[in-house]
Structure 1
């Protein structure tokens, strides 16, 4: 964590505390530094620290124990639907469940995208793919663009509920995706994403669905092998 120079900084304090939690520096159940300690660490007033604490407590991320201090709360599955919270790195069981959800929903989403995508949607998919190609040696950048691609497919479906839920899924996977790419590589993602773009351009609903099914199923099988070893 880095000292913050500006005076009105409650939001920045909030972001730095949340970043420590997301990165796993402060795991669930961890007692975090006190207001006084964080005030010294960040170079800000206790008022800013207190405001950030209150916000995190209201979101269910932190809990204050009377006479003891402030702790990172244990995360429950229900919190996954709160898009305000970029969730912690998922354990293998949770990640498998998210991928199973994607297998169910994103196959049909791809079919809708093939039917409904505008030229602007296609341009966005191609731009994201180009950035993925340029990021094959940068795991974090590639992972971020991979998630952007799937969100862009959801946007091309023109279904507002699919878009909103996909944004939540993106938040859930935002921390774990780099680890997935690091383990599984970039080749499959590039292969399937290019073919998905082609299917959308061709307005081939069934091909788009088949490709997404293969893509997600392959990822699930690879992850199962990884956690079995």
Structure 2
């Protein structure tokens, strides 16, 4: 297999992009297991941490999933067949429908996380909240995924991956929008912290409530962002 060795700064991001290209070309097929971390290191000429970070990114986008003790598999499910969020800009109706699903799914995830989370799960959530070395939308996504993973429920995790994969563009646009309003950014950061604290203290009902309030707030902000972007395009 002919691939270019990677020498760019954001190595893990480039590795993830290269793996995506190989999946699109059919070199790696849906349902199959990816080569091992060591083999991918040799293939791209990069270190193990870069490959692991790339797999985490791909997992977050719903392209692959990890089976503990086995390896990393390529998802067969194509979320774009279920949703229309691959469009450049989703409609208000699509945003509302998305958040209807998220409120059902993620409030339950927060509640279960408070019951089942481990100390390692808490460390991962904490890292997502305070990590300033990655894009804001990515740390936001990783925080929500860390909660899903802490439930130990593979179906919930895959649902989160599918939904997030379909809304990546909207999420990036939304975070670009709120960066212009530091107060909104601060509110969202505080909401994440409140959810985390409820999970840490194993207060499942409070975690459910905090997540509901957070999603209501983000939905309103995203709808406002959509309205403004639509106006600017007229």
Q: Could you tell me the TM-score, scaled by structure 1's length?
A: 0.60
Q: Equivalents in 1 of 2:213, 2:127: separation in Å?
A: 23
The superposition leaves residues 25-80 of structure 1 with CA deviations (integer Å, 9 ceiling, x where unpaired) of xxxxxxxxxxxxxxxxxxxxxxxxxxx3xx49x99xxxxxxxxxxxxxxxxxx942
Alignment of 1:148-227 (within 5 A): 148-185=142-179, 186-227=185-226
Matches of 2:196 and 2:120, distance apart in 1 = 13
The structure whose Rg is larger is 1
Mapped pair 1:118 → 2:118: yes
CA contact (8 A) 1:87 1:171 kept: no
Distance 1:89 1:228, change over 3 A: closer
The count of residues paired between Structure 1 and Structure 2 equals 160
Query: Is the Cα–Cα contact under 8 Å of residues 116 and 158 in structure 1 kept in the other structure?
Result: yes
Shift of 1:90: 4.8
| Structure 2: stretches of 5+ with no match in the other structure | 6-16, 31-76, 180-184, 229-234
For residues 207-228 of structure 1, what are the alpha-carbon distances to aligned partners after superposition, in whole Å with 9 as ceiling and x for unaligned? 1011100000111112223333
2:130 counterpart residue number = 130
Alignment of structure 1 residues 101-112 onto 2, 5 Å? 101-112=101-112
Matches within 5 A, 1:138-153: 141-153=135-147
1:15 aligns with 2:15: no
Following superposition, the deviation at residue 170 of structure 1 comes to: 2.0
SS of the aligned residue for 1:114 comes to helix
Gaps of 5+ in 1: 19-51, 60-77
SS in 2 for 1:91: coil
SS at match of 2:108: helix
- Structure 1 segments, 4+ long, off by >6 Å, are none
For residues 207 and 228 of structure 1, what CA distance do their matches in structure 2 show?
32
Partner of residue 98, structure 1: 98
Matched residues in 2 for 1:197 and 1:102: separation? 18
Q: Distance in 2 between matches of 1:165 and 1:13?
A: 22
Task: Give the direction of change, closer, same or farther, for the CA distance of 1:17–1:212 in structure 2 (3 Å limit).
Answer: same
Contact 2:111 2:207 in 1 (8 A): yes
Match of 1:38 in 2: none
2:4 & 2:117 partners in 1: Cα distance? 45
Counterparts of 2:19 and 2:130 in 1: how far apart (Å)?
35
